[in-house]
């Protein structure tokens, strides 16, 4: 479970603006089922009262306004490790510029 929960905010900027500090992770239908659609984490923060089964529809409306990791949980971990190892700029510097 920690493998999944870890990517929700780690590696994202430490700012108050939700579209920058939270990650939505695109995963297979099986993973979405097992996680009750909580891979749509940014959407859940935007509208916390949204039931888990409605999060995919909310994602369709917000996907251009939030950070989406298209390569699943592995891709999110690779992004985080790249930042830690200095191979990629920290997300904090990207949010400050854009």
With H, G, I as helix, E, B as strand and everything else as coil, classify residue 95. helix
The token duo for 92 is 């904090």
Structural domain boundaries enclosing 35: 2-97
Highest mean pLDDT among 11-20, 25-34, 89-98: 25-34
- Position 36 pLDDT exceeds 80: yes
Number of domains in the chain: 1
Beta carbons of 19 and 42 less than 8 angstroms apart: yes
- 51-83 pLDDT, tens digit each: 999 999 999 999 999 999 999 999 999 999 999
Output 4 or 20, whichever has higher pLDDT: 20
């Amino acid at each position: 479970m920690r493998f999944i929960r870890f990517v929700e905010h780690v590696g994202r900027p430490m700012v108050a603006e939700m579209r920058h500090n939270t990650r939505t992770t695109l995963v297979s239908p099986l993973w979405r089922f097992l996680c009750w659609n909580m891979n749509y984490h940014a959407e859940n923060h935007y509208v916390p009262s949204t039931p888990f089964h409605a999060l995919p529809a909310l994602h369709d409306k917000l996907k251009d306004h939030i950070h989406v990791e298209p390569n699943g949980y592995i891709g999110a971990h690779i992004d985080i490790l790249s930042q830690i190892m200095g191979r990629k700029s920290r997300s904090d510097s990207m949010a400050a510029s854009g």
